[in-house]
Amino acid sequence: MSKLIVSPDSKRSGNHPALSVTPESAGWTYVGFEVYRLSPGETLSQSTDGNEVCLVLLSGRADIATANASWLNIGQRMSVFEQIPPYSVYVPNDNRFKVTAVTELELAVCKAPGHGNHDARLIAPSDVGVEVRGEGSTQRFIHNILPEQEPADSLLVVEVFTPQGHWSSYPPHKHDRDALPDESLLEETYYFHVKPEQGFAVQRVYTDDRSLDETLAVKDSEAVLVPKGYHPVSAPPGYDVYYLNVMAGPTRIWKFHNDPDHEWLAQPRTTAPTESE
């Protein structure tokens, strides 16, 4: 198994996460990510400590309370593949949250350093920016849950739907240098669902010097760590692919750099450049 793939824990129960990524386990600085699966009536309680948190209701409904606010029976989709925006809750650092499942619930807990600059708030589906990127076999569908234009200290959270036979995170791009205004340094996790669930997604993670160059077959409910490098995704024919991205770094801005070999794909042309070009 690649060190970049994090598989779910089949023995999860109660407050034990089905999947967990910490800065320590990933060998990086900023991003933490957990997935919990709760049955109706089960609860999850945590203190946020030094992290801000974005709670994303991947599927199911729940009651959520923080130290200062609460929201009852939020959530609307029972599967991510309904392809409607989720309900989410932003919780600042030095706060706490309690989630009580109303239905079967899959919950993503996205974490990054917080600085106490924002209040807890509900991110309703109407607050989520919806867009289409790419065309043809690179067309995919985006839900901007916590983009850089919305208040937060570190976190960037987005979900992507890649139809069968399509590519996303494409052309291959990276964001691993703190070199603004040209490129930002952002660690990133990808959390996948595949429909039908016996399928897989393909993700390649590679650097210019190929010191990192892995091509991964990613199963349903697995996560991929992207500490650096380019990281395109492909959905094989017959299988739709969903992923939730969590990014964070020293500056909360998404500035990426395309792989020069494939930069031409981002240009308004339909043929590859020749060697003479």
pLDDT at site 276: 45
pLDDT at site 214: 97
**What is d(CA 202, CA 205) in angstroms, rounded to the nearest whole number?**
10
Cβ contacts of residue 34 below 8 Å, gap of 6+? 17, 19, 20, 21, 108, 109, 111
Buried b (16+ CB within 10 A) or exposed e, 107-118: bbbbbbbbeeeb
**What is d(CA 75, CA 90) in angstroms, rounded to the nearest whole number?**
14
Domains of the chain, residue spans: 5-264
> In this structure, what is the dihedral angle of CA atoms 109, 115, 120, 125, given to the nearest 10 degrees?
-60
Q: Contact, 245 vs 158, CB < 8 A?
A: yes
Residues in the chain: 277
3-class DSSP state of 25: helix
pLDDT at site 9: 85
**What is d(CA 277, CA 268) in angstroms, rounded to the nearest whole number?**
16
Token duo for residue 49: 């400590």
3-class DSSP state of 254: coil
Give every residue of the chain whose pLDDT is below 70, as ranges. Answer: 1, 10-14, 269-277
Token duo for residue 129: 């920016």
Judged on CB neighbours under 10 Å (0-12, 13-18, 19+), 233 is buried
pLDDT at site 271: 55
- Beginning with the edge strand found earlier in the chain, give each strand of the sheet holding 62-66 in spatial order: 43-47, 96-101, 62-66, 70-74
Q: What is the DSSP letter of 86?
A: P
Q: How do residues 19-32 score in pLDDT, each as one tens digit?
A: 999 999 999 999 99
pLDDT at site 274: 54
| Domain 5-264 in CATH 2.60.120.10 | yes
pLDDT at site 272: 56
